[in-house]
Chains A and B, each alone.
Chain A
Amino acid sequence: MAYKPQYGPGSSTIAENRRKQMDPSKKLEKVRDISDEDIVLLMGHKAPGAAYPSAHPPLTEGEPDCPVRKMVVPIDGAKAGDRIRFIQFADSMYNAPCHPYQRSYVESYRYRGVDPGTLSGRQIVECRERDLEKIAKELVATELFDPARTGIRGSTVHGHSLRLAEDGMMFDMMQRCILDKKAGMVKYVKNQNSEPLDKEVKVGKMMDDKWLKAHSTIFHSLVGVPFRSDQEYVEYVQRVHSLRTKYGFMPEE
């Protein structure tokens, strides 16, 4: 029988959203438009339109005779010898559409040649530069991103577990993005490394609370779906915890 991944337990909307995001057969809902140039500006690794600097010669110029290299099809950036670059996100606990662990799962299931790294309040994904641009565009333009509750932050990422500001924006020590109250639009004035941008990058309107609650993948007992309300999830986590604890004592289950 062919293996069918289940992606995760749970019967709540949170669990459903998690499974939907992780499952590569399901298309992520596109929520906003962002241009290639804007993504390059946000990441700040090179000037828009500049050639990709390389870290090594293209793979076509002499590869050692290696069976593994023949077996693995390289991604475009690896073929061209691009540098490895990153994009990093901070997600608010207050119903952000994605969160660090979830992001790593999503990227591992959906993309090839990526190196996601999860930390408590932020998540970094590394990849060859030209492939990263494509991935970053998808991560920002789809339902995985909310301009107010998700931040593109290379350093000084503090904000995940803090209360929101009065206008609903997640705290950012460097205020990389500001809310244009008239237009209701969030715009980045600094790139992810806090360097001021020559031109503002608009990342769309902040989503309303109803949309966020329906699309969130974070349990939150006060503003969202409480973890304990999802019995199936609780049972699963308790089972994992129990087996891990008993492991050293030869579990017989």
Chain B
Amino acid sequence: MTDAIYPQVRIVSERLLNPETVERVMNLIVATEGVRRAILNGPRIPPTITYGPAKGQPNPHEMRKIIKIGDQNVELQVHVGTILLELENKDVIPAIRAACEAGFRDLPWYLQEGRFMKTSPSLVDYAKYGPDADKAIIGMADPGSKSGPVIIQGIK
């Protein structure tokens, strides 16, 4: 769950992003030292084919790559189109804008301030994940997922 005191921003680009662009932008964003949590959103790219006669076969895809953010490897599971950030305070927003400006280069993008993550678990969350689900993840990703969040250390 997010805490209401932390500001949030959403960064949306005109096109769905290549892994190289995501890596470039995210490293610049992470270097601003003001990000508490981040989610990379976009349409999912499954590792295996999910439907049809080829079901279960591997699904090689150029956009499903492992990128390096900070010193951590992050396996992209989506074709990134939106970046959600929870920030330490509002003062970092200009630095985030500057990072996006440098990272996206010629690609059009925009940044919105608002509330994009859940602030309290819903009834459906309770029904799906039970009372003991990790509240830090509810509203951001599936708490039942085996792959947990990636923690990027050593940026401060």
State the A residues within 8 Å of B (CB).
154-156, 158, 162-167, 171, 173-175, 178, 190, 193-196
Contact = CB atoms under 8 A, between A and B. Distances in A.
Secondary structure call for the B interface: loop
Contact of B59 (A155, A158, A171, A174): A174
Contact of A158 (B13, B43, B49, B107): B43
For A167, A190, A194, A196, the residue with the greatest tally of chain B CB atoms inside 10 Å of its CB is A194
Given A158-B43, A171-B79, A174-B59, A163 B51 contact: no
B120 interface: no
A174 B51 CA distance: 10
B46 interface: yes
B60 A156 contact: no
Secondary structure call for the A interface: loop
Interface of B: 13-18, 21, 43-46, 49-54, 57, 59-63, 79, 81, 107
Nearest to A179: B62
A175 B61 contact: yes
A86 B63 CA distance: 29
Given A175-B60, A175-B62, A163 B54 contact: no
A166 B17 contact: yes
B52 A194 contact: yes
A71 B146 CA distance: 63
A193 B18 contact: no
A155 B59 CA distance: 14
